[in-house]
Structure 1
Amino acid sequence: MPFSSGQDVVVTDFGLRAQSRLSPYVMGFFGIGLPVFVWSAQLGLSTWLLACYLILFVINWTAFMVVKGQAETRQAIEPADAGERRTLARARLWRQGLGGAIWAVSLMVISLSAATAGPGAEMFLMVCAGAAVGIIFFSAPVLLHLLILGPVAIAGPILALQLLHEGPQLSQLMTGGLVLALAMAVILNRHMREHYLLQNRQEEIAAEREAARAATYEVKEARMALMETLQREVQTSLKGLEQHLAQGLTHLSRAPVPRQCVEAALTQVAHLQSILITTVDNDGAAAGQIEVAAEPLDADLLCQKVLAQHAHLAQGKELSFTYNGQALPEHGAAIGDAHRVEQVLTHLVSNALLYTQQGRVEIKLMPVENFLRLEVVDSGPGLSEDELDQAFQPHSRIQRTSSGHSGAGLGLSLSRSLAELMGGRIGGLSTLDVGSKFWLDLPFDKSAPPPARPDEVLDEVEATSDHSLRVLLLSNDSLRAAQLRDSLERMGHKCLTSTSRERALALARKAPVDACLISTGAFENLDEPESRMKLETFLDSLRATQTAANLNILALVPAGDQVDDLQAMGVRPLLLPQNRESLARALAAV
């Protein structure tokens, strides 16, 4: 049978599938109808005629099952294209139609042969009419089967009753009922046709959606693979560049300007590495490719660790940087991924220290409902309500506050994704010209014990968290000495001041010191052996006063001419002019 359009192929294919799904009901109909058929045949038919009918049933059923199996075999084949679907639909159409034709033709033969048995066959023919209605019903899903098999099935009982010449009213009633059943089946087929087209459209939409999802997934996979490759290659190059710059910085012995340029380049390299890691993590979170652990955390230790790591930034800007964990519950632990929690907290603290020019930054721990809140409060410029919403959008930066500060605008967006992955939440409040607070809420389990702290971690945190140093300041300029002493004390260090080398040695013998900062201008001519020996003797004597510790000696020098000589003597030179941030970094490395 030729199909006039693609819709005909779709309707036929779905109709044939519907017929296949009716197979169990066909068997049930046959099982229920066979005893009724045999009982009615015994009332008005001879035994030999009933035996012939039963033999015919066996032959028909065998042929029907063979044809049905062939049709189902072709239905299981997945068509490669529209042409193959058309061919398979045509093959199934004829085979399933042949299976129905076997029963329709057999019913006509049985009905006409029963008419010769006399008036007693009326009950039997009424049962045959019921069988005809069954054939109409099971043919209804496919219009061609219905229009061919339906009339054939009802023709037998109608003609047989008319041949009996008995009960014309019964013949008319049966004819009207069978024709009405055929008409209703046609209406049902029209309704099913619309259903077939709607279902086909739904399947097409689902397939398109799945194809789009698969394509999106492939794009995300390719993007992540590209980003990971770029991260690996670029980070390797940046690390190499960082090492070369650091080596060059140690040997740079010229004017302070080139040295400051190298330091600025090192800062930019570190910044690029941070942006690279944040960008890759943000893409991974958006693609659902970041996995987080759900383990009990030592939130107190994490906060202390972040505090110690950023203490030098606060010192350089003379900010009050504190941690308040007094509200931490005595029992229980927050649940999350320690690495990711540290990553989020580091970003919140970095932002607070970056945008706060004066005042304070504080880390707090407090219970909130069923969460443990890690909160960072600052006295920065603050944000409006719209700016606060914008801050959490990816690649979005607040022009009013971020001017002059580089970044990718991904930190808060990534932090929100990581918080959600850990079952937590992140938020913020801010007031213009007053300050801001941002928090990370982590699920809190009151029955979970916090993890044990390794000894080496405790030692590291204790060593870094106490960033207060005892600094011996040697300066022969009273004004310069006062400025340096003020800066050191604002950083939280204890300062001992001397104006001569002899006084410095006397102070060092009386009290332990961690570092010595020399600011006496240019040193004597170190090319002369006598001058060089004099300075080396002083330095050795100074180190000898601190036998329990390795004394670190720093020197502020106005030019780079003596840098190599000082480094050879174990002195770390700091070229003038020296800003507070550079001095804080140098002391933080002590």
Structure 2
Amino acid sequence: MSSNADSRRAAPLRGGASFSHQSLEAQTALLPYALAAFAISLPVYVWAGSFAPNTAWMTASFALFAIACGATYAAVSWLKTEAAADLGRRARVHILTGLIWAGCVAQIAAFAHQAGPMREPLLMMATAAAVVCIFFTAPWLPSLLVVGAAAAAGPLIALFAHPESEGAATLAWGAVALAFALALILNRILRRQFALASEREVLIADRAGKVEEASRLAQSKSDLVATLSHEIRNGLTGVAHVLASAAGRNGRAAPSREQLSAALDAVNDLIAVLNTTLDSETAEAGRLAVDIRPIDAAALVRDLVLLNRPHAAAKGLELTLHVPAELSEGRGAALGDATRVRQILANLIGNAIKFTVRGRVEARLEITEAGRLAVEVADTGPGLSPEELSRAFEAFHRVERTSAGVPGAGLGLSLSRQLARLMHGELKASSAPGVGSCFRLELPFDATASGDTPEFEDAAALPAQDRRKLRILVAEDDGLNAAMLRAVLEQLGHQIVHAADGRRATDLARVCEFDLAMIDGRMPGLDGPQATAEIRRFEGAAGRLPIIAVIGGDAEEAQECLEAGADAVLRKPVTVTAVARAVADATARSGQEAGRRVA
């Protein structure tokens, strides 16, 4: 929306500049014709001037005509050069050229004023020359007002200077006034035409931009479908084979631990591809929001290094971290969205480990001279040429030399750069084939702020209060989602009772004691908000049951569940960390409300 508004605000400016340009272009196109008109009139002037007693003055007229013709040719030649693109300089050239011709008309008037019996005919010819100047300066209003007035001044002054020329002077004045009136009408018509042409130029430019944007989006969608179809088909095929073996189909033996591990890796890769793709499309559409707050970047990077160190060790790689003393002591904080910063750095560290065959991967933090926080991830991998590095930041583009056989959608670096810019930061890179690569994330830094501690990624690392065993009611009509949620909750040590719909969930909540309820937002019959509202109408402890609404990500759905009485919202697909945090938040909020009621 903002880009469209900016283009609409810029349209009048482009139209104004285009209008002036078109006016000067029209006047430029008339210059050769003006020159031809004076050349054709010259023999008539010479014939009439030959009857004057002061014919020697005509020499000055020829000299001025020669100067004016030379100036006109020079102006026409200059207007074809790149310097004529400056409208201010071009306007001055037009005015100067016109004033030279106005000087020629004034010289003719001076010559005619002393021409004896030929005085009035020659002054009328000078008036006609002034009318010609007025006509050929009509396209551009400043030139018309300046040059036209200057050209008409000489003949009119000479005619009104003698009382015996009153009749001719009145006639000349009427001719000049009529010429000005017609020139102003012509100028008005041309202004309207130029305005329409300017609007047409703007519309054509906007249309070209829309066509280009539509083409880019169509290509993006095509790349998206191609990438997802390849990654999802390959990953799901492998998972299906392992699950078929686990189910005892096709006479195969039960899958080995290695097969199950490979299937789990494939599923995690699929989830990563889908999440990255969805984030990239959301960012491309301008709907990706970030929550910028002070964050403890050193703790965040340290956490990621610890999580990735086993993977690096399995490949025989050394993964190290260097943090300056001032950052280790917690002085100052980076400004950004903790989740998005973690996503960027996880992608950079993961890529470094993924593509490095031998050697080491190093993460470094520093404060730049500009007062920003920089996080560098350097590796001894295959490295990239400048062309390959440029393509690596393009969506859906992967460098075949280094990524062959490695899963991915080709969106990680592109999305990371978009996220960095949303947080007023920048993602840069340098690389050399055969040497390695270094990716550098720069973020705003506040030396006086205190950063938040990054969230835990492993359920085993969660605080003790988050691992308290609870009896949880899960209301979910989708069998796969219910099984996934049960697996996550049981991994956290909780006991689960499953209800297949909202009605069954409310009946169980009425007669059984639960520590928490997790209710799907969209279910047939009694949906999530309705079931939540009905539970809240219960008396006693059942009506105060902590409730988590499990939704598909729709903001309206989340609002409905919260208004119905849910204590927290959990978006699908769920993760161990997200579930643990939602459980902790819901139970804590319910406890606080109960305390307020008791007080």
Q: TM-score, normalised by structure 1?
A: 0.43
Larger Rg: 1
User: Which structure ranks higher in relative contact order (CA pairs < 8 Å, sequence separation ≥ 6)?
Assistant: 1
Q: TM-score, normalised by structure 2?
A: 0.42
